[in-house]
Amino acid sequence: MVILKGNDPMIKKGISLLICGLIGIIPMFAQPDSTIVIDNDIQLIHLQDSIYVHVTWHHPDNFGRFPSNGLIVIKNGQALMVDTPMDNDKTGRLTKYLKDSMSVDLTKVIIGHFHDDCLGGLGYLQSIGIESIANSRTIAKCKEIGISVPSTSFTDSLTFDFNGEQIDCRFFGAGHSFDNITVWIPDKKILFGGCLIKSGNSTGLGNLSDAVIADWNFTIEKIVKNYPVIKTVIPGHGQFGGAELLKHTVELVEKEKNK
Catalytic residues, by residue number, are 113, 115, 117, 176, 195, 198, 207, 237
Across the chain, which distance is largest between two alpha carbons, in Å? 51
Provide long-range contacts, Cβ within 8 A and 24+ apart, for 135-141: 135/111, 135/169, 135/171, 135/179, 135/181, 137/171, 137/178, 137/179, 138/111, 138/113, 138/114, 138/179, 138/181, 141/114, 141/179
Contact 62, 18 (CB under 8 A): yes
Give the amino acid at 249: T
Cα–chain-centroid distance for residue 181?
Answer: 10
* 57, 120, 212 from 37: Cα distances, Å: 12, 21, 36
Dist. CA 192–CA 167, nearest whole Å: 11
